[in-house]
Structure 1
Amino acid sequence: MNIGNSLKRGSFIPRDHRRILVLAIRGIGDMVLITPLLRLLKQRACAEYLAVMADGVTAEVFDHNPHIDRLFVIDRSRSRQLPWISGLREWASLVSDLRHEQFDTAIDVFSGPRSASLAFLCGADDRYGEDFRTSGRGFLYNYPTTIVRDGRHIVEQKLDLVRPLVRDIDDDVELEIVTTTSERDHANATLSQLGSAKPRRVGLFPGGKDNFMWPAERFASVGDWLIKTYNAEVMLFGGPRDISVCKRVSEKMASTPIDLSGKTTLRELIALLAEVDLVISNVTGPMHIAVALKKPKVVALYGAADTVQYAPWGASSIMLTKGSPGDAYWRKVDYHRDFEFLLNITVDDVCDRVQPLMEALTVSETHA
C-alpha cells in the first residue's frame, strides 16, 4: 500500500548493533498492524537483537516471525487476579529479566502506563514513545514523539516512532504473518476430517465487539447465497466469546455451515485462514490477520469511525462501509452512531462486492 510522503519526515539517529525491545501491549489486530515495524527495525536499524513484549494470546501473532530474536509474553488478566505481593514479585522478576538483556533501545508502540514504566525500567538509554507528557508518563521517554492521528492509518502513525532509527521508509509497507509447514498440514488435515471437499471455501466472522457486529441474520443470508450460487463451503470462525453469535448464524441458515467458533487456538485459526479463498468479517483482529496472509480475499464490514485509522491494510481487501472519510474519527467515538452506519450495509451490498471475487476464483480454477 502506498503511503506517500507521510513517511519522509524525521531525522536519522545512527547507532550500530542495537539491542532493541519493542513493547506492544494491546489487541490482536494492533499486533498485526505493527509487523512492518519489526522488519524495518531488524533490517534498517542495525538491530543485532530484537525482542518483543506482548500480552497473552496476542503474542501468537509473532510466532515464527524471522525478525524476532526473543518474545516476552505477559498475562495482564492473570496478573490482575494475583494478591498484591505476588503481583509485585512477578513485576520485579520481569524487570530483572529485561535488564539482564541489556537493551540499549526501547520502543513503546502504544505508550500505555504499564509499557511506559517498563520502557523506563528496562535500562535502555534510548526510549521512544508517543508524547503523552500531559498524561503524566511522557517524561519516561527521552525521545517522545508527537504523532498526528487525524486522517492517518495506525500503521503510518506507528512508523513515526521508528523513523529516527531506520532512515528512509519504503512506500510499500506490508503486514507479515508467518505460518509453518506443519501448521498448514494440520489445517488441511482438520479440513479433511470435517469433510470440507467443496472447491471454494469462505470464512465468515460474525463476532466482535457489540457495536461492531453486522446482524447475524444477514451473515446467514450471505452464507446461504454463497452455498446456493457458488456451491461454497461456508465456515464460521471466532473465539470463545463468538460461539453464541456463530450459533445464531448457523441456526438461521437454510444450509449447515462448518462452525469452528471457539474450537481453535489463534495459531490454528491463522493456518486455517491461509486455506480459505474469501473472508467476510466485521472489524476484528482475525480480519487483519486474513489481510496480512494475502491469500484469502477479504471483505470487511465497517461503520464509520475506524475507516481511516483501522482500515484493512493490504491489496487483497475490500472495505465496505456507508461512511465517508469525513465520518472517520478516533476521539470519543459515538458507538450508537457508528453502529447505524454498519446497519446501513445490506445483504445485497455484500453480495454485490463478493460476486466478482467469487467469479474471479471460478475463472482461475478454469485456467489452472
Structure 2
Amino acid sequence: MGEQKILILELGGIGDTAMAIPAIKAVLNSYPNAHVTVLTVPRTRAIIESLQAGSPGNLAVISTDAIDTGALNGWISLIQKMRRQGYGIAIDLSAVETGKAAIKRWLFFKGLGVTETYGRNTNGRGWAFSQKADDVLTSDEHEVLRKIKVVELLGLEADRTAPCLTMPDRDREYADALLSEWTGRGLIAGINPGAFRPSRMWPAEAFKNIAKWLIEEMSAYVVITGGAKEKAIAESIAASLPADRAKMVTGVSIMKFGAVIERMGLFITNDTGPMHIAAAVGVPIVALFGQTNLNRYHPYMDDSLYITIKKDCGLCPCYSFAHPMQECRRHDCEDKQCMDSITLDEVKEAAEKLLSNQNVGALV
C-alpha cells in the first residue's frame, strides 16, 4: 500500500482507548508506509504513545480537551490545524451514541475536508460516514470487536485476541520500587473503589471490608488504586488497614498505574477504565457492574481470568429499562440499588474462585 495520511479518532476514556488497541495496531501493521495520526484526549495520550515503539509506520498523537470543555473555539482551532495535514482517510472507532453526536461528526469531517470516512452505524446514526459497520448498542458484541469491525471495512486483517499493553521500563521501575518490600511474600491484590461515574461505584465501606478480608483471610498485601479525585476514598479505606499491608496509588500517570496493576495477582474493581488496563496486562479481575451492556464491556481476556458480577436491571427504582443490556447513562444516582445489592460474599466467592483457578500469588 502506498504512503497515505490516515486519521484515527479515539476520543473515549481510558477503557475505550485500551479496547481500541487491536484496531489501531491493525491499521499500523497494514499501512507500514502511512503517516497515521490518532486524535485522543489528554488523559489517554500515553496509552497511544506506548504503541509507537512497536509501530512499523509513522505514528503521531494529537490530544485535545475540547471534548471535555465543549469549547467551540477549541474545536475550530483544532480543525484548522488538522485540515492542513491533508488526511486522505478518517477512521472513527467510537459509537455514535446520539443524533447530536452524528451531526458533530459530519461537521468535523467537513471541516477537515476528508471524504473517505469509516465508522459505526450505531442504531442507524452512522450517516456521516462514507463506509460504516453495523452497530447496535444492546447487541452481544464486545466493544473491542466493534472497533475492529470498523478498520476491517478497509479490507485489512486484525488480531482479535485480547488488547495488550506494554509498560515503559521507567514505569516498571516505579512499580518495582513501590512494591519491593512485598516481593515474594504473598498475594498482592488491588482494589479500585472509584469510577468516572459515581453511579457505578460499589460502596466504599464494602471495598473496605473486602480489603480487610484479603489481608486477614487471604494473607494478602493490598494496593488501593484510583485517580486524583478518588484520593479521599482511598485514604478512608487505607486508614482502616494495617500500614504494613496496604498502600495507596492515586493520581499517578496511567502507565505507572498500569505497571503497578501488572504486578498484582488479583484486581477487584468497578466498571471503569482501570478494569480494562488490568485486562490489557493480563491480571485476574473481579469486575463489579451496574446497569450496562455486560457483553459489550466485560474484561476482554481469557474467560478463566475474570469474573463479573451484575444484578438484574429490575432492581432500579428510578428507571425502567427496555432491554436488559441497555446502558444506564446517569453520572450520579441517589439510589444505586444495582451496585449496593452486590454482596460481600459474592465478591469473596469470585475472588477465591479466581485465585484457586490460577494458583495466583505475588507476581513481583
Matches of 1:165 and 1:45, distance apart in 2: 11
1:235 matches 2:223: yes
Q: Which AA in structure 1 matches 2:92?
A: D
- Residues 202 and 35 of structure 1: CA distance in aligned 2, closer, same or farther (over 3 Å): same
* d(CA) in 1 for partners of 2:146, 2:329: 19
Task: Tell me the secondary structure at the aligned position of residue 107 of structure 2.
Answer: helix
The 5 A counterparts of 1:80-91 are 80=70, 87=73, 91=75
Give runs of aligned pairs for residues 268-283 of structure 1, distance below 5 A.
268-283=256-271
For 1:363 and 1:314, locate their aligned partners in 2 and report how far apart those are by CA, in whole Å.
Answer: 16
Match of 1:317 in 2: 306
Return the match for 1:29 from 8, 11, 15. 15
Task: Name the residue aligned to 2:205.
Answer: 217
For residues 180-239 of structure 1, what are the alpha-carbon distances to aligned partners after superposition, in whole Å with 9 as ceiling and x for unaligned?
2222112212333xx444432111001112221111122112111111123211010000
> Is 2:152 the counterpart of 1:163?
yes
Match of 1:99 among 72, 83, 86: 83
Check whether the contact 1:237–1:261 (CA below 8 A) recurs between aligned residues.
yes
Query: Do residues 187 (structure 1) and 175 (structure 2) align?
Result: yes
Segments of structure 1 that go 5 or more residues without pairing to the other structure are 1-14
Q: Deviation at 1:253?
A: 4.2
Would the aligned equivalents of 2:123 and 2:136 in 1 still touch at CA under 8 Å? no
Q: Match of 2:317?
A: none
Q: CA deviation at 1:116?
A: 4.5
Q: Comparing both structures, which one devotes a greater share of its residues to helix?
A: 1
Letter in 2 for 1:258: K
Letter in 1 for 2:45: A
Show the counterpart of 1:257: 246
Contact 1:217 1:252 in 2 (8 A): no
Letter in 2 for 1:212: R
Matched, 1:48 2:45: no
**8 A Cα contact 2:26 2:156, kept in partner:** no
Normalising by structure 2, what TM-score?
A: 0.81
Would you say 1:246 and 2:230 are equivalent positions? no
Instruction: Name whichever of 27-36 and 57-66 sits farther off.
Output: 57-66
Question: Per-residue CA shift, 1:118-174, capped at 9, x if unaligned?
Answer: 333333341122347987xx554322444233222222322232222134555x332
How many Å separate the matches in 2 of 1:364 and 1:252?
24
In 1, distance between residues paired with 2:192 and 2:284? Answer: 14
C-alpha distance in 2, partners of 1:253/1:118?
Answer: 50
Structure 1 segment 201-216 matched on structure 2, within 5 A: 201-208=188-195, 209-216=197-204
Q: Answer whether contact 2:198 2:333 (CA < 8 A) is retained.
A: no
Which string of whole-angstrom CA distances, capped at 9 and with x for unpartnered residues, describes residues 274-329 of structure 1?
Answer: 122211000110111010111x21111112423122111111322122349x7222
1:22–1:51 contact (8 Å) kept in structure 2: yes
Aligned residues: percent identity? Answer: 23
1:130 aligns with 2:120: yes
- 2:342: which partner in 1? 345
Q: 8 Å contact 2:165–2:280 — kept in the other structure?
A: yes
Among residues 184, 187, 202, which one is paired with 1:200 in the alignment? Answer: 187
CA contact (8 A) 2:268 2:286 kept: yes
Indicate conservation of the 8 Å contact 1:183/1:271, yes or no.
yes
C-alpha deviations, 1:25-49, integer Å up to 9, x for none? Answer: 1211111111111112122366622
Using the TM superposition, name which of 273-282 and 174-183 deviates more.
174-183
Provide the alpha-carbon RMSD of the alignment.
3.2
Please state how far the C-alpha of 1:77 moved relative to its aligned partner. Answer: 6.8
User: 1:10 aligns to what?
Assistant: none
Q: After superposition, where does 1:12-23 map in structure 2 within 5 Å?
A: 16-23=2-9
Amino acid at match of 1:55: V
State the TM-score, normalized to the length of structure 1.
0.80
Q: Distance in 1 between matches of 2:216 and 2:106?
A: 53
Residues 1:107 and 1:246: Cα distance change in structure 2 (over 3 Å): same
- Secondary structure of 2:35 counterpart: strand
More displaced stretch, 42-51 vs 120-129: 42-51
d(CA) in 1 for partners of 2:123 and 2:271?
Answer: 31
- Note the alpha carbon deviations across 1:308-367, whole angstroms, 9 max, x for none: 22111111322122349x7222376798699423333211111111124334665778xx
Gaps of 5+ in 2: 314-322
**2:319 match:** none
AA aligned to 2:311 is K
Give the superposition deviation at 1:63.
2.2
Structure 2 residue identity aligned to 1:100: R
